[in-house]
Amino acid sequence: MGPETGKKRARGRRAGALLAALALAAGVAGCARSAPAPGAGKLVIQNIGSDTMVNLAQAWAEEYAAVAPEVSVEVSGGGSGLGIAALLNGTADIANSSRRIEPEEKARISARTGQEPREFLVGFDALSIYVHRNNPLEEISLEDLHDIYAEGGPIDRWSQLGVPPIPGARTDRIIRVSRQNNSGTYHYFRDVVCGRHADFKLGSLDMNGSKDVVELVSRTPAAIGYSGLGYQTDQVKMLRVARRRGQRGVLPSVATTLDQSYPIARPMFMYTPGEPPPHVRQYLDWVLSPAGQKIVALTGYVPLRTDAPATP
Amino acid sequence: MNPPPFSPTPLVRRKLRQERLAQAVLAGMVLAMVLPLVALITYLVVQGAPLLSWSFLTTNPTHGMREGGIWPALLGTIYLVVIALLVAAPVGVLCAIYLNEYAGDNWLTRLIHLAVVNLAGVPSIVHALFGLGAFVLFAGLGRSILAASLTLAIMTLPVIIASTREALAAVPQAFREACWNLGASRWQTIRHVVLPNAISGILTGVILQVSRTAGETAPIMFTGAVFYKKIAAGDPFAYALNDQCMALSMHLYTVTTQVTNAPAALPYAIAVVLLGAVLAVNATAILLRTRLRARQKW
Amino acid sequence: MNQPPAPLLRRERPRLHRLAERGLEWTLRACGYSAIFFVLAIFLFVFREGAPLLPKLDWAQVLFSPEWYPTSRVHVRYGVAAMIAGTLSVTALAMVLAVPFGLGAAIFVSEFCTGRVKETLKVVIELLAAIPSIVWGFIGLSVTNHLIQRYLPAPVGLNLFNAACLLALMSVPIIVSIGEDALKAVPDSYCEAALALGATRWQTVHRVLLPAARNGLLAAVLLGVGRAIGETMAVLMATGHANQFPHSLFDPIRTLTATIAAELGETAVGSDHYRMLFVIGLMLFTITFIVNLLADLAVRGVRGKTG
């Protein structure tokens, strides 16, 4: 053992001291922040739920930070089911949901918190049917969509719809793009298109987010997919949708959603576990005000009133 | 006329041909892996370069995360990595010391070894399930940095144990025997001779785990990472242990799958930051290891 | 480990020292046992969350039916057969790609390289191992997706082949590093004997080293398999996540790991769907346990023979 070992030992000791210092600092910081006294720091609103609404919720949170800087709105996605589950667990102040709350979920929340969950309608979302821009198809009916997507539906190929071979597609098979089975969008599409007592066909590509669907369809000539109106890009084509074969189809837009001529549009809700506390109530009031609804239109959704600026 | 002596016979010539062929094929295989890798990384850097800047690293995301920076995600990842390693390193090192210096060659030791190997092989999503069941729900920590870090700590533990064992085993037995013959106890030997000589290997093993911890997404997705959270820009103590946090890996996932109309360079830039940080830390650890290994006196 | 000889003047060591050392030994012992504790804990907690559903499951449907409809309003079905097929097929294809390249690289690096080149290659392969799986998933979704769709006869770029290529690149570093260890563990005397008989390097490798290192190379492959089976984010993003049996190389598929990752976030804690995902987690844990057990036995074979 010589002077070298001493140096090594010193280095080891220095490393150990550094780690200990870091640990101490982190611990002190953690302790210092772990219990914010009520009213002393920012008020936090936990906003959890629908992936469809997450971009909108985020846009609201950002805008509201300028309106009321003492309130911090924290947004996460995860799906409508998760948001409502978070209401049940008490980890969310507001749940975003792109579907109506089920009666059994309502009952569970009432049982747990003692109050009925309050529902706020905050806007509408039109579900568009997207295809690749090379696809010559212009419109489709709900019945055709049922035959394509629902379990037992007979349509598997584009030729069955009378569509000529799509340039760039290497197959006649219809590549169905869908969402994963817990998303509000999936549930809603299943109810409207497959029917309340049916399920989807196996083998659809179940994407994770609304944006993924549009991206994939824009790259895959043989694909068809459904996603929110707010996720359209100029790389995909939206189809006109008719309720029955032979009827004229309607393009989704603010106007056709509000007058209910577009058949696949759904309301977007925010739920609170019972009567909301004042700072949450103020946020909800702002969301429902023209300022908040303007954000709805800007993000590509359908606002509650027609006097809001039209979708770009 | 006889061929000159020491010239190759046909048999030898064939052997040499096969040898050269084998060498070429194997070198080709290695190139076939290395070249696409280099090409991919270059592509990522080139695509992400327009957005990379100091302010990208230190500002909050704005406009639905399409603009601004990635500061909350960067800080969140740093918190998760530091806390996870602070928990895993001591336990892992002590476990390896036990296995290498104290344990006898019996069924219990073999069982521990089997447990370490299995812990290393558990899929990351099963770690996520465990973290959810044990830390978030059972221990009541809720979705928080603490729960996520503990999940990550359990994930890196077996690798730290394995690399520490290697570092300890590299210290020659002669060192230990010399100490024992001088009358030192087992712990005194470890503390004064074995550990100082193995510390470089131990440290590099721990530092190499930074990359794994920073890059994992599944274990933190359900235990503490969140889609969006605004924190004080540039403040290194902005998160508390029971807060949720953003993380680079989770941020890359959400920007790729959920943020519409984001500039094309944004996910590439996040990937470059994550990859760059990870590769830089690893390269430092490898450099450290090479330099320290050169100084070893055995 | 040899026992240190008993110190000469035991009675003169202060009692406090001896007690402290005893306490330290017990701490070390506790840390040593912690690995067993954690493995059991993982199994127990996953089992705890999934157990209430186990008696209600129709195992024939679960294991052999591809119909996975956990959120159906009319007919809830938990068939994971297509996902098991997806996991197995993507792992098998990844190994078909990774094993030749990985073993080839291991042989090249350990037998045909020296000095600087060897060190550089080893560092490059270590850095390959450091790339996070989310970055691989991103590459699969954004880069190789388009490449495959443009240059190969695939109708959609997110498919089995895409994920298998990524998994192969992820497993190669493990196969290379453990394979190299296995080749190094073969006693020098074998190689020296072969060289003395006039064998070239390739002949030595192919007729002496590979057979001798068979067990260790098998272990390397098995650990690569374990890595591929357990991978989550890369396959989630690159396979297209379609619940169907693969009929061609370019069909989108879904794996067990990706299903859990995609659906766990949106389930209500305590619901049947939530518990079923934990049951799938148990299945994964069992599969990787068996694979790792086999790998360990193979490695033990190596150590036993040459140690």
Domain assignment present for C62:
no
- One-letter amino acid of C232: T
Interface of A with C (CB under 8 A): 78-82, 84-85, 88-89, 169-171, 173, 175, 180-183, 186-187, 196-199, 202-208, 216, 219-220, 222-223
Contact C42 B130 (CB under 8 A): yes
Please tell me the distance from the alpha carbon of residue A127 to that of residue C76, in angstroms, as a whole number. Answer: 25
Contact C269 A89 (CB under 8 A): yes
Helix ranges, C153-271 (H) = 160-185, 188-196, 201-204, 210-212, 214-230, 233-238, 256-264
Query: CATH topology for A125-258?
Result: D-Maltodextrin-Binding Protein; domain 2 (3.40.190)
The mean pLDDT value of chain A amounts to: 82
Q: Which residues of B touch C8 (CB under 8 A)?
A: 183
Q: Does the domain made of A43-123+267-298 have the CATH classification 3.40.190.10? A: yes
Q: Is C72 found in the same domain as C51?
A: no
Q: Is the dihedral of CA C256, C257, C260, C262 positive or negative?
A: negative
CA distance B114 to chain A (A): 30
Q: Where are the domains of chain A?
A: 43-123+267-298, 125-258
Q: Is C85 found in the same domain as C11?
A: no
Give residue B26's Cα distance to chain centre: 28
- Span C48-61, mean pLDDT? 90
Domain assignment present for C287:
yes
Nearest to A99 by CA among A184, A178, A183: A184
Q: Is C33 found in the same domain as C112?
A: no
Question: Contact, A267 vs A124, CB < 8 A?
Answer: yes
Cβ within 8 Å of C, B 48-87: none
Give the angle C102-C105-C106 at the CA atoms, nearest 5°: 85
Domain assignment present for C47:
yes
Residue C112: its pLDDT value, please?
85
- The three-state DSSP-derived secondary structure of A44-78 is EEEEEECCCCHHHHHHHHHHHHHHCCCEEEEEEEE
Q: Is C230 found in the same domain as C128?
A: yes
Domain assignment present for C63:
no
Chain B residue whose CA is closest to C264:
B222
Res C64 pLDDT > 90? yes
Say whether residue B298 is in contact with chain A using an 8 A CB cutoff: no
Question: Contact, A104 vs A193, CB < 8 A?
Answer: no
Domain assignment present for B36:
no
Q: Which residues of C touch B222 (CB under 8 A)?
A: 264-265
- 3-class secondary-structure state, position B125: helix
Mutate which: A134, A135, A199, A218, vs C, most C CBs within 10 A: A199
CA distance C250 to chain B (A): 21
Say whether residue A2 is in contact with chain B using an 8 A CB cutoff: no
Mutate which: B66, B83, B195, B260, vs A, most A CBs within 10 A: B260
Please tell me the distance from the alpha carbon of residue A4 to that of residue A289, in angstroms, as a whole number. Answer: 73
pLDDT per residue as tens digits for the range A163-215: 999 988 888 999 999 998 877 788 889 989 988 888 999 999 999 888 889 98
Give the angle C228-C229-C235 at the CA atoms, nearest 5°: 70
Q: How many domains does chain C have?
A: 2
Q: Is C148 found in the same domain as C33?
A: no
Q: Is C50 found in the same domain as C180?
A: no
Res A32 pLDDT > 80? no
Please tell me the distance from the alpha carbon of residue C43 to that of residue A227, in angstroms, as a whole number. Answer: 39
Contact B199 A15 (CB under 8 A): yes
Q: Is C91 found in the same domain as C23?
A: no
Res A258 pLDDT > 90? no
Percent of chain C with pLDDT over 70: 93
pLDDT per residue as tens digits for the range C210-237: 998 888 888 889 889 988 998 999 999 9
Q: How many domains does chain B have?
A: 1
Domain assignment present for C160:
yes
Q: Is C141 found in the same domain as C195?
A: yes
Residues in chain B: 298
pLDDT per residue as tens digits for the range C173-210: 989 988 888 888 888 899 899 989 988 888 888 889 99
Domain assignment present for C131:
yes
Domain assignment present for C238:
yes
Residue A187: its pLDDT value, please?
85
Give residue B60's Cα distance to chain centre: 27
DSSP single-letter state for residue B224: T
Q: Domain with B199 in it: what CATH number?
A: 1.10.3720.10
Question: Contact, B256 vs C145, CB < 8 A?
Answer: no
What A280-284 contacts at long range (C-beta under 8 Å, 24+ apart), as own/partner pairs, is A280/A45, A280/A93, A280/A94, A282/A68, A282/A71, A283/A45, A283/A64, A283/A68, A283/A71, A283/A73, A283/A94, A284/A94, A284/A120
Q: Is C114 found in the same domain as C91?
A: yes
Domain assignment present for B79:
yes
Mutate which: C74, C266, C277, C280, vs A, most A CBs within 10 A: C266
- The gap between the terminal CA atoms of chain C, to the nearest Å, is 15
CA distance B39 to chain A (A): 23
Contact B230 A65 (CB under 8 A): yes
Residue C305: its pLDDT value, please?
46
- pLDDT tens over chain B, length 298 residues: 677 777 888 888 888 888 899 889 999 988 888 888 889 899 999 998 888 888 888 888 777 677 778 888 888 899 999 999 999 999 999 999 998 888 888 888 888 988 988 898 899 999 999 999 899 888 888 888 999 999 999 999 998 998 898 889 888 889 999 999 998 888 888 988 898 888 888 888 888 888 888 888 988 988 887 777 777 776 777 788 887 888 899 899 888 887 767 788 899 999 999 999 888 888 888 888 888 777 776 6
Going by pLDDT thresholds of 50, 70 and 90, the confidence category of residue C280 is very high
Domain range holding C47?
6-55
SS3 of chain C: helix, strand, coil, percent, to 5: 75, 0, 20
CA distance B41 to chain A (A): 23
